[in-house]
């Protein structure tokens, strides 16, 4: 976010600087164009005028073959220089406009990429949040299952501890237990016969 704000500020400053440069170039170009027009008009008028006023009774001095019309050959120097300056202003304006358009395009591309990236990150964040919620819920259910199973195990272990002394008698040998089982089975057989009304021999 901070980088985005810095970029916004930088783009705004460059934009203002470019606008001022274009404004200055236009004003300078207009001023030079006006100066060129004034100089061209001056030299055109100077070409028509003569410095020496000729009187009808006097002959022109031998030094001059034609009337003096000013330094017409020199006018290309200052006008040429001003035309170069004017073309420099025009070039500066064109380059600045081109740089501004390029910077604006770059900024627009960056903003579009940033928007797409932000939307993608938001979507990923939402998906991760939903996944976390699902996994948290699954963990809660498993912890509840584990708690229930642990309670059942504890109850079974308590019951086992209660039954253990009756099932495992440490003072009786295996042979004695086998003999007791046979006696119990025989007793049960006799009880069954009595119940069925059979005569016990």
Shortest CA distance to 93 belongs to which of 169, 154, 26? 26
66: containing domain: 2-126
d(CA 200, CA 150): 53
d(CA 19, CA 25): 10
pLDDT at 71: 52
Domain final residue pick, 72, 91, 126: 126
pLDDT at 64: 54
d(CA 100, CA 22): 10
pLDDT at 14: 82
**Domain check: are 90 and 162 in the same one?**
no
Is 133 part of a structural domain of the chain? no
* Cβ atoms 102, 15 nearer than 8 A: no
Is 147 part of a structural domain of the chain? no
Is 47 part of a structural domain of the chain? yes
* Cβ atoms 88, 34 nearer than 8 A: no
d(CA 201, CA 181): 22
pLDDT at 17: 87
Is 201 part of a structural domain of the chain? no
**Domain check: are 91 and 183 in the same one?**
no
pLDDT at 136: 95
Shortest CA distance to 90 belongs to which of 39, 36, 22, 44? 22
Mean pLDDT per segment of 10 residues, for the chain of length 201 residues?
A: 71 83 87 85 71 47 55 63 87 89 88 91 94 95 94 92 74 83 93 82 57
Is 144 part of a structural domain of the chain? no
Query: Which of 136-146 are b and which e, b meaning 16 or more Cβ less than 10 Å from the residue's Cβ?
Result: eeeeeeeeeee
Tokens of 19: 């606008």
- What single string gives the DSSP state of each residue in 43-65? HHHHHH--SSPPPTTSPPPTT-S
pLDDT at 188: 94
Is 87 part of a structural domain of the chain? yes
Tokens of 180: 């007791």
Domain count, the chain: 2
pLDDT at 146: 94
């Amino acid at each position: 976010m901070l980088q985005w704000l810095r970029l916004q500020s930088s783009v705004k400053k460059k934009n203002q600087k470019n606008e001022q440069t274009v404004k200055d170039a236009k004003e300078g170009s207009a001023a030079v164009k006006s100066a060129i027009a004034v100089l061209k008009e001056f030299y055109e008028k100077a070409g028509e005028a003569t410095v020496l006023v000729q009187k009808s009774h006097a002959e022109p001095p031998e030094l001059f073959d034609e009337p003096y019309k000013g330094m017409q050959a020199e006018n290309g120097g200052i006008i040429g220089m001003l035309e170069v300056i004017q073309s420099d202003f025009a070039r500066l304006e064109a380059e600045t406009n081109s740089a501004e358009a390029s910077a604006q395009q770059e900024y627009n591309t960056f903003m579009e990429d940033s928007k797409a990236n932000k939307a993608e990150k938001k979507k990923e964040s939402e998906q991760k949040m939903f996944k976390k919620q699902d996994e948290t819920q699954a963990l809660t259910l498993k912890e509840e299952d584990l708690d229930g199973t642990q309670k059942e195990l504890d109850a079974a272990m308590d019951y086992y501890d209660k039954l253990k002394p009756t099932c495992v008698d440490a003072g009786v040998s295996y042979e004695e237990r086998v003999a007791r089982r046979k006696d119990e089975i025989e007793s049960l057989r006799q009880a069954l016969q009595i119940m069925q009304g059979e005569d016990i021999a």
